[in-house]
Amino acid sequence: MPTKSLQNPFDPDSNLMHSHADEAREHGAEGHVCGPGCQHHHTRIDGQDVPLEMAHYHTPSEPAMDQEAMIDRAVESAVVRAVFNHSEVDRRRFLKLIGGATFAAALGSVFPMDSLKAAVKDSLGPLEKTKLKVGFVPITCATPIIMAHPLGFYERYGLDVEVVKTAGWAVARDMSLNREYDASHMLSPMPLAMSLGLGSTAEHFIMPAVENINGQAITLHNKHKDKRDPKDWKGFRFAVPFEYSMHNFLLRYYVAEHGLDP
């Protein structure tokens, strides 16, 4: 679960959004970053020009929470964000004006926050399974899956997890379909492709967490370093890690935008 979702929603300096891109999408923000030598980076949120350093407040990491505390915080965040129509700017301004404690007391007087928390906890029940086998492909974005084991994060939440190095994406897919993995590191289009039966038998899969989005790059051999225009790439052969990957989809869209049929 993204930790920013679990920051204190009654703290005006906390940030409940996952990224600046989230803020921009939810508020129709128009962002720009100046060119080389520019000292000021701004974004427009709710129609106002706001420095990026103000759009994202940094708060110190809080101590690790147990399961009940995480549920309490998630419920509080969901309710508070709904009150302000998911506007971080409005929430921060209002809390700075009246104070977090005052707002929490006022909200508690008209909304049964404790009852909602109790209802959510009652509906969850115990963990469905505690002994898990989780696959990963050895690349950088697998780091949270790998390091959660030696750092004790799995154990902290009552899980006995075996992390399994996997030879590639097709193997991760097949091991998951065969129920040999309880969960697996995958490229983001893979669960959708598996659910639709594209490249495999059709079986419903869900994506409970996203580690990163569209961090790919198009790289050319040094001998092609002057060919910056994709129109000059006709006849080139590009490698992609997997058919059902954002690398593949974005590359195809990019060259198609420049008149090439991928």
If DSSP states are collapsed to H, E and C, what string results for 219-247? Answer: CCCHHHCCCCCHHHHCCCCCCCCCCCCHH
Tell whether pTM > 0.75. no
What six digits make up the tokens of 38? 């520019």
Tell me if residue 165 falls in helix, strand or coil. strand
The contacts of residue 84 (CB under 8 Å, 6+ apart) are 90, 91, 94
Q: What is the pLDDT of residues 199-255, one digit of tens each?
A: 998 999 888 888 877 777 888 999 998 998 898 998 899 999 999 998 899 899 999
**Residue-range domain boundaries for the chain:** 3-123, 131-196, 222-257
Mean pLDDT of the chain: 82
CA dihedral 9, 11, 13, 14 (to 10 degrees): -30
Tell me if residue 51 falls in helix, strand or coil. strand
Rounded to whole angstroms, the Cα distance separating 166 from 163 reads: 9
Q: What is the pLDDT of residues 133-161, one digit of tens each?
A: 999 999 988 999 999 999 999 998 889 99
Helices of type H across the chain: 20-27, 52-55, 67-83, 88-98, 100-110, 113-124, 143-147, 153-156, 169-177, 190-196, 246-257
- Neighbour tally for 5: CB within 10 Å: 17
When comparing pLDDT for 21 and 182, which is higher?
182
Tell me if residue 154 falls in helix, strand or coil. helix
Q: What is the pLDDT of residues 37-74, one digit of tens each?
A: 444 444 444 444 544 434 443 344 456 677 788 889 98
| pLDDT at position 6 over 90 | no
Q: What is the percent of the chain with per-residue pLDDT over 70, rounded to a whole number?
A: 80
183-184 and 131-136 strand pairing = parallel
Angle at 11 between CA 8 and CA 15, to 5 degrees: 70
The whole-number pLDDT of residue 57 equals 38
Rounded to whole angstroms, the Cα distance separating 198 from 107 reads: 48
Confidence of residue 262 (pLDDT cuts 50, 70, 90): confident
The whole-number pLDDT of residue 58 equals 39
Rounded to whole angstroms, the Cα distance separating 201 from 236 reads: 32
